[in-house]
Amino acid sequence: MQHLASRAAHELKNPLNGALLNVEVLRGRATRAGLAAVALAPFADAAATELARATELTEALLALARPVAEPVDLSVALQPLFVLAGAVARAEGSSVELALAPSALGRCALAANAVRGTVALALAGAVRDGAVVIASLAEQGDELALRLNGAAALPAGMGTRIHEAGVRFDEVPRRVTLLFPRAAAG
């Protein structure tokens, strides 16, 4: 997860750079006589969009630093992780996003850091080589399933490391499923 956060922090430079350059265009052209304001709008829009991207990444980084209440609400705990993973994946020619989870999803018995660490590890293996991954959360018996649909095959040895973190793991072609133990009700 540390590696993911570090890579994502680097990715923060892209939207910041986009925003800076478009603001620079605005600054250079704003004083030019005879230039209609409408001609500047696309650069203002681009700068705003890039700042929003930078803000989203910054908030995701901050969210990862905040303590998470236990037992863990997976959709809340994993959301910032997927924001960062999405930014990193895009830079490497892949993509990943987390689909909205069902509202009545139960909570996970594992600690938040263990969950995030395991998911970050699985994402590092599954989101590569141009893979387009849509992740979804669902209840599956006594467990909570995180399905990485469209995943690349995990590298050798990664399954063992996931098991060692206390998470069950299942892999079929183009799909990796992580099964987290559900917290006891109440």
Partner 1 sequence: MKPGKILIADDERAIAAGLSAILEDEGYSVDVAVDGQLALERLTSDVYGVVLADLKMPKVDGIALLKEMQGREVPTECIIITGQATVDSAIEAMRHGAYDYIEKPLTSDKLTRLKALIPKAVDKFNVKQTNRALTSQIAQLTHYGDLTGQSEAMREIYQIIDAVAPSTASVLILGESGTGKELVARALHAKSDRAKGPFFALNCAALPKDILENELFGHEKGAFTGSTNEKPGAFEMSSGGTLFLDEVAEMAPDIQVKLLRTLESRTVRRLGGKKEFAVDIRIVSATNKDLQKALADAELREDLYYRLAVVEIYLPPLRERIGDIRLLATEFLAQFARENNKPIAGFDDAAMDWVLGYHWPGNVRELKNALQRAVVMAKGSTVSVPDIVQRHLRHPPELSAVNLPAGSTLADARRQLVLRSFASTGGDLQRAAKLVGMSEAELRAELLSLLDGNGRGSTAHGAPKDDDEADVVAPRAAPRGRAKSGSAGAKSAPKAKPKGRR
Residues 73-112 that bind partner 1 (CB under 8 A): 91-93
Among residues 28, 59, 97, 142, which is the contact residue for partner 1, using CB under 8 A? 28
CA dist 98 and 51 (Å) reads 22
Beta bridge partners of 133: 96
Q: Are 93 and 130 in contact (CB under 8 A)?
A: yes
Q: For residue 46, state whether it binds partner 1 (rule: CB under 8 A).
A: yes
In the bound state with partner 1, the residue whose beta carbon lies nearer, of 42 and 102, is: 42
50 binds partner 1 (CB under 8 A): yes
- CA-nearest of 80, 68, 74, 77 to 181 is 74
Instruction: Answer for the pair 44, 22: CB distance below 8 angstroms, yes or no.
Output: yes
* 30 part of the interface to partner 1, by CB under 8 A: no
Task: Name the residues that contact partner 1, by CB under 8 A.
Answer: 10-11, 13-22, 24-25, 28-29, 42-43, 46-47, 49-50, 91-93, 130
